[in-house]
Structure 1
């Protein structure tokens, strides 16, 4: 018979991301963040390849990235409002962790499984932050998918991608509950 963990299940059934624009200081200090990252690093990793890594972006780094957004957005032909929205994602943040998908060469583990593992690390980091009492939100946005931006801004290698940017801070406004998926519409039971 399994041993339930009601507190953990209750957390998962009621977890709710906090909009990044509502997060403020204080942010987790290095010690608190190391605990969150340690929990995130326990994500499922088929083959034990560690096909992801973390880049902790503190305020100065976020402002540097924000300053890069307008030039890249203009070069890519984005509308001014898209550029400004992306710029503010970095400029208004106080702390974010970029989860980097960094697949390893493997004859046994397909690259797609390694990419999925990086996505799982994003969710594990998000949940660890929320479970620690911090507000957190998983974002991306066009700059995180622009090869030049991630190479020059984050130092990513050609085979690496941003799986997600996890913004962390103190919640200033409780978000309203939002509609959740209809379990019956998205679940198929197969018994034969």
Structure 2
């Protein structure tokens, strides 16, 4: 396979863009289908497809946020209104959020951990796919990914868990790069 300088340069410079800096327009129906196709082209030992995707867009964004605020209020009746407003905006202003669920199951040959990693790759491919289509993205995992009531409200079935939510939209700002790990600190060479 020949070298692809454009892909290399993209991977060397890719940067998440926070939810607050994502706006309309988001992907149209055709772009969304392409994005979902890109997302699901991941390593998947055994062809199990051990993941599912939940699309949150349009009016569903505010509705999901309102339900999160209700759950937060039920769990903490003393919660302040400002915090409830933050919950209401969990899927705003980005025009599209895709929740990635791990559906890992017991398998005679393929560990659940390996299946979970495959779901993580779906989330990362969503980020890369968004950029390939001219958008920006941020992959986050917040309290509602771990809270059973909230996760179920957002579409998790029994035995499933969210590995994250990928917010996608048109960036309103150029985000400066952050310091990256020193390779000498994170890479070792096996010596036998």
Partner of 2:51: 52
Q: 1:82 to 1:113 in 2, by over 3 A?
A: farther
- The number of residues matched between the two structures is 190
Partner of 1:8: 7
Partner of 1:183: 183
Cα distance in structure 2, aligned partners of 1:143 and 1:50: 23
Contact 2:91 2:167 in 1 (8 A): no
State the TM-score, normalized to the length of structure 1.
Answer: 0.91
Partner of 1:127: 128
* RMSD (Å) for aligned C-alpha atoms: 1.7
Unaligned runs of 5+ in 1: none
Cα distance in structure 2, aligned partners of 1:82 and 1:120: 32
* Deviation of the 1:83 alpha carbon: 4.6
Partner of 1:24: 23
State the TM-score, normalized to the length of structure 2.
Answer: 0.91
* Deviation of the 1:49 alpha carbon: 0.5
Contact 2:50 2:115 in 1 (8 A): yes
Cα distance in structure 2, aligned partners of 1:40 and 1:57: 16
Does residue 1:69 correspond to 2:68, yes or no?
A: yes
Partner of 2:145: 144
* Structure 2 counterpart SS, 1:130: helix
Contact 2:22 2:93 in 1 (8 A): no
Task: Give deviations 1:25-76, integer Å, cap 9, x for gaps.
Answer: 0110010011111111111111110001111111211111101122222333
* Structure 1 counterpart SS, 2:26: coil
Contact 2:22 2:170 in 1 (8 A): yes
Partner of 1:85: 86
